[in-house]
Amino acid sequence: MALKHQIRKFLPPEAIKVLRNVNTSLRKVLPVKWLTWYSNLKVGKYKDKSTKDVFTDIYTNNSFWGGTESVSGTGSDLRNTKSLIDDLNKLLVDFNISSVLDIPCGDFNWMNKVNYNGIDYVGADIVEALVKINAEKYKEHDNLKFVLLNLIEDPLPKSDLIIVRDCFVHLSMESIYNSIKNIKASGSKYLITTSFPEHPINLDIITGGWRTLNFQAKPFNFPKPVLVVNENYKGSNGEYKDKSMILFKISEIVVPEDGYFEGQ
Ligand SMILES: C[S@@+](CC[C@H](N)C(=O)[O-])C[C@H]1O[C@@H](n2cnc3c(N)ncnc32)[C@H](O)[C@@H]1O
């Protein structure tokens, strides 16, 4: 478990609150270069590794994401996904969704509470062990399939809805760019993904780290979302209370043909 999480266990709640407030205030005033340096601090060792090796290492060592309920971290705990589950159930009906690609699916911890009756669900991840465990656990469910896929470069099954939750936030700008191009190439209809509408800065990071992303801001400048679903995220002292899943018509997303998304 990461040192940060171990230290938190021994600090009184008030001390944790003070530390988080200092962190939040600093992030608002520090130059972008410093913020990028900080975001990359723990992940320098991943600089020249393949995306598959990075996330297999994180999975194997349960290194960064904390939490005890899901290997995908506290953001995938049921207390942080309760309202999202209800909102997704409604979305599947309202938008007449009959096929879903959930990439990455992680350990399917909270997603298994979503009602996929009558819907073809494909869960995909880059970590082989996770896909194997999910496939074995849900083998009796005919409408649930788990496959090994790399969002960045593998051909993706054409689906009514592609769900990309808590993934781009861990990828470099170049990998996000290639993933979005790949999603567009699949011919799928809708994309719902994580975005932080009140965090305007989009940093470039080493894949495996983490930072907030705002797809309405530059360099993405995505169109107005069809729907914004706030996750009611409870953690981090309210710093990420804007954490949302935003829905787009994939055909409306414009990706620069010969360029890439440049971080700030
Ligand atoms: C924080 S977890 C989120 C999982 C899930 N979406 C959720 O909400 O619980 C991030 C996941 O992204 C997967 N991942 C990272 N890069 C990927 C890629 N290029 N293709 C497929 N999966 C990827 C990791 O293996 C990990 O399981």
Task: Provide the 3-class DSSP secondary structure of residue 74.
Answer: helix
- Quote the CA–CA distance of 144 and 6 in Å, as a whole number: 36
Instruction: Answer whether 76 contacts ligand 1 (Cβ < 6 A).
Output: yes
Q: Residue 181 domain-assigned?
A: yes
Pairing type for strands 144-148 and 99-102 reads unpaired
Helix, strand, coil share (%) of the chain residues, nearest 5:
40, 15, 50
Q: Residue 262 domain-assigned?
A: no
| CATH assignment of the domain containing 148 | 3.40.50.150
How many domains, in total, are found in the chain? 1
Residue 73 falls in which region: left (phi positive, over 0), alpha (psi -120 to 50) or beta:
left
Q: Residue 23 domain-assigned?
A: no
Instruction: Answer whether 106 contacts ligand 1 (Cβ < 6 A).
Output: yes
How many CB atoms within 10 Å of residue 176?
A: 28
Atom number, ligand 1, closest to the C-alpha of residue 59? 25
Tell which wins on pLDDT, 1 or 208.
208
Instruction: Answer whether 152 contacts ligand 1 (Cβ < 6 A).
Output: yes
Q: Domain of 227?
A: 31-252
- Measure 105 CA to ligand 1 centroid, in angstroms: 6
User: Where does the chain have alpha helices with state H?
Assistant: 3-10, 13-29, 32-40, 51-61, 82-94, 128-137, 173-185
pLDDT digits 0-9 by tens, 31-69: 777 777 777 777 888 989 999 999 999 998 876 566 678
Residues 129/62, Cβ–Cβ less than 8 Å: no
Task: Provide the 3-class DSSP secondary structure of residue 194.
Answer: strand
Tell which wins on pLDDT, 256 or 86.
86
**Which of 107, 126, 133, 211 has the most ligand 1 atoms within 8 A of CB, as the residue to mutate?**
126
Q: Is the pTM of this model over 0.85?
A: yes
- Quote the CA–CA distance of 223 and 46 in Å, as a whole number: 32
Q: Residue 17 domain-assigned?
A: no
Q: Residue 179 domain-assigned?
A: yes
pLDDT digits 0-9 by tens, 61-106: 876 566 678 888 888 888 889 999 999 999 999 999 999 999 999 9
Q: Residue 130 domain-assigned?
A: yes
Q: Residue 66 domain-assigned?
A: yes
Q: Residue 18 domain-assigned?
A: no
